[in-house]
Amino acid sequence: MSVRPAVEPLLLNRELSLLKFNERVLAMAEHPDTPLLERLRYVCIVSSNLDEFFEIRISSLKEQLRVAPAQVGDDGLSPAEAFEDVQQAVHELVTRQYGMLNEEILPRLRTKGIALHSATDWDDAQQAWALACFHREVMPLLTPIGLDPAHPFPRVYNKSLNFIVPLSGIDAFGRKASIAIVQAPRALPRLLKMPEAISGYRHGYVLLTALIRAFVGELFPGLEVQGCYQWRVTRNSDLFVDEEEVTNLRHALQGELTQRNFGAAVRLEIDRSTPPALEAFLQREFQLSGADTYRCNGPVNLSRLMQLCSVDDCADLLFPGHQASVPEPFAQVGNKPAELFAAIAASDRLLHHPYQSFQPVIDFLTAAAVDPDVVAIKQTIYRTGEDSELMRLLMAAARAGKEVTVVVELMARFDEQTNINWAARLEEVGAHVVYGVVGHKTHAKMALVLRREKGRIRRYGHLGTGNYHPRTARLYTDFGLLTADPRLCEDMDKVFSQLTGLGARRALKSLLQSPFTLHDGVVSMIRAEAKAARAGKKARIMAKMNSLLEPIVIQELYKASQDGVKIDLIIRGVCALRSGVPGLSENIKVRSIVGRFLEHSRVFYFFDEGKESVYLSSADWMDRNFFRRVELAFPIYDKALKKRVIHEAFLVALRDNQLAWQQRPDGSYAPVRSRAQPVNLHRVLDDALRRTG
């Protein structure tokens, strides 16, 4: 083992920081005050997060091991050291995850009438039902593959459910049986509902895994089945498309998507009872080591249990129902085009989701689609979902003869196929569809409406920190601004021109834009606060985002801290900055908030000698957001709205003592607790915005 440096590096490891975030998510499952089915949901979320972690981050780390094994990163770790630390942390996290599921959640769910029936516990009636279910619904779809020279190891889809079955005996053709692989088709449900009369519980379920393990012998008549063990392999799912070389990005991406499910293996999950010889066999097949292998005390894909969180008649086991408020004037005008546009023209309108409904954004686009005075709509799309009312509105507007331009980001990770499908449908109805700028993902969130009023064109815009995705708008905290301010709308039009056409960079008056001005703008504002502090003036920085990784910005924050600037950072997920280090960052505090809603908004505050500059943004402070994406940060000009943003994004969050975690100098986190009155950010804002509309 290599010798670690005695001096702590200035930056924290990205992968380890991301795992710390998942520890905080799992802590929600461990908290006794979290409703029982929500505890299960958090366990499933961690499972889903770890899938993507291996598909993207571990794949990247393994590539570093291959191409630059000796290179030490800014975190002071070589790829080998980072990989060792990460694998140890994941193994510990997975052990906690299955322990919480088996020792706490599933037993307590059973007392509430929700049961997973294990084959070892079936009575005669349950056994008969399970066998009939297997023959009727499962067995016809299974294709067992006996491994021999004529039947090599099958191609295995990324994250698919599989079984390895050791056999003995001679088959009908005189072949000696040894090992068979059974792949569970994706068409089969992973949870099967058992009738209440047979189950004895209101909600009784049997895992597909249990059915196959119990009756796998039905697939191999005349042979002795010596065991049946579930397993799953996770593959590198990061797409590679050489955007500089392709002539048609959409066609190239479609070709790459077909291979995503067969990338290099990065993780093997197996049943904890799998014999060592079979474990070694699978490791050899996928070229994985013991460190890459995870023995699971339960289903190898825990996220499949998310289905249990949707059972009927269990509202008492979930968070209380949440109904987002519709603020004035939208509650009155709805999608009445003239009244809605008049309301936006009168003053900027701020929306804070999910406390406030996403419906005003839909109403805005509905009005644009049906209003005869609207001549054009321009929209960016990063993620919107397979069933999108917003996309249907854009299609309706195009059919109505309006000029509809949609910048669709085809490289939105794991949403590529959905976006390709929408792009094709939009083109079919006459919309102009472009795919942004080669080499730069279009991550900015904006919609622009051009309306003819009194013989001239007036612009109306929506700018946001989150995606145009109604489902996530009910779960993610994001800000959106509806505006007719010429300073913002004219800049938006310039950005659309850059995305759809060619030409020199156009100067923007109000918006900060990646990859051009956002990084320099942020650095400049940090330095201005540091300069004010050195002059003995009040200086203050607050920033809220998902991730903080970009090293230059971190260095500038360190310098500002040393100059006396008080800095509060609310970073939900990955944070490479070390807070509270004497002589380096003692004036910086980092907290993470994990609760019912996913903290997603990006908000930047600078005291700015009393002017209090506030920006909302689509961008985290990461290299990719500053330099390899098209991102926007937009100022809040209206004083009342600015005050709202400061209060809702920062002041309440900095008082939270229920959902907040404080970062320690070593990168670990401790829950924030105090004897003061309990403050739960999500509840406080929900109550406040419901009262004010």
Q: How far is CA 140 from CA 119, 145, 188, 218, 391, in A?
A: 21, 14, 11, 11, 39
Could you give the CA distance from residue 461 to residue 449 in angstroms, rounded to a whole number?
A: 6
DSSP 158: T
Is 614 in a helix, a strand, or coil?
A: strand
Are β-strands 293-296 and 203-207 bridged in parallel, bridged antiparallel, or unpaired? unpaired
Kindly state the tokens that stand for 70.
Answer: 């000796």
Across 348-397, the runs of DSSP E, i.e. the strands, are: 349-353, 374-381
Which token pair is 293?
Answer: 């292998």
E runs forming strands in 520-577: 540-545, 566-571
Query: What is the C-alpha separation between 512 and 521, in angstroms, rounded?
Result: 7
How far from 101 is each of 205, 298, 303, 481, CA to CA, in Å?
A: 16, 9, 12, 41
Three-class HEC string of 421-451: HHHHHHHHCCCEEECCECCEEECCEEEEEEE
Query: CB of 256 within 8 A of CB of 250?
Result: no
DSSP letters of 632-686? EEEE---HHHHHHHHIIIIITGGG--SSEEEEPTTS-EEE---SSPP--HHHHHH
Q: Are 194 and 126 in contact (CB under 8 A)?
A: yes
SS3 603: strand
Backbone angles phi and psi of 153, in degrees to 5? -60, 130
* Active-site residue list: 443
d(C-alpha 332, C-alpha 218), whole Å: 64
Round to whole Å and give the CA distance between 314 and 462.
38
Which residue is it, tokens 């942390």? 89
Chain-centre distance for alpha carbon 345: 34
Q: SS3 for 616?
A: strand
Q: What is the DSSP string of 239-300?
A: ----TTT-S-HHHHHHHHHTTGGGS-EEEEEEETT--HHHHHHHHHHHT--GGGEEEESS-S
* Torsion 97-102-106-111 (CA) sign: negative
Q: Indicate the burial class of 273 (C-beta count within 10 angstroms; 0-12, 13-18, 19 or more).
A: exposed
Measure the CA–CA gap between 251 and 578, rounded to whole angstroms: 44
Determine whether 540 is exposed, middle or buried from the number of CB atoms within 10 Å of its CB (0-12, 13-18, 19+).
middle
Phi, then psi, of 475 in degrees rounded to 5: -120, -30
- Residue 161's closest CA among 188, 194, 193? 188
